[in-house]
Homo-oligomer: A and B are copies of this chain.
Amino acid sequence: MEHRIDQIKKQLHAQSYKLTPQREATVRVLLEREEDHLSAEDIYLLVKEKAPEIGLATVYRTLELLSELKIVDKINFGDGVSRYDLRKEGAEHFHHHLVCIECGSVEEIENDLLGDVEKIVERDWGFQVKDHRLTFHGICRKCHDGTTTLKK
């Protein structure tokens, strides 16, 4: 944890940004709740527990900054809210989402599903791929096994 914070601190400094207490508090929440796809509001509330004086706008600004620096991923499931995830240390961007249209659950999968596909896009369309977003919509295991009672 402290190691990761330190890493991020250096990355910020390298681009002449500071790791202010507010920013650190935000990063800590993201670290604790890694992979939780938290919204800005969620993060704001969690940060507030530790540092009640922090403002929502600051959280937004921090998330925007971290997102520009590729420290967090800003993702969008089309539900009108942006969600933020801290990137795994040095991770390539090989994670994708399975959104269940029954129960609304979101599972994240790690797999370089698109390595070849990106090559095709670069070759056939002359488009230099820097990043991608891939989301599958369908029925999750629980829902088609009938082993869930969750409904949105």
Which residues of A does B touch, CB under 8 Å?
74, 76, 78, 82, 98, 100-101, 107, 109, 111, 113-114, 117-118, 120-121, 124-141, 144
Contact = CB atoms under 8 A, between A and B. Distances in A.
B113 A141 contact: no
Contact of A127 (B78, B111, B136): B136
B128 A138 contact: yes
Copies, count: 2
Nearest to A132: B136
Contact of A130 (B78, B107, B120, B137): B137
Among the interface residues A111, A137, A139, which one has the most CB atoms of the partner chain B within 10 A?
A137
B109 A125 contact: yes
A107 B125 contact: yes
10 contacts: A76-B78, A101-B130, A109-B121, A111-B120, A113-B120, A127-B140, A128-B138, A128-B144, A131-B138, A132-B135
A129 B136 contact: yes
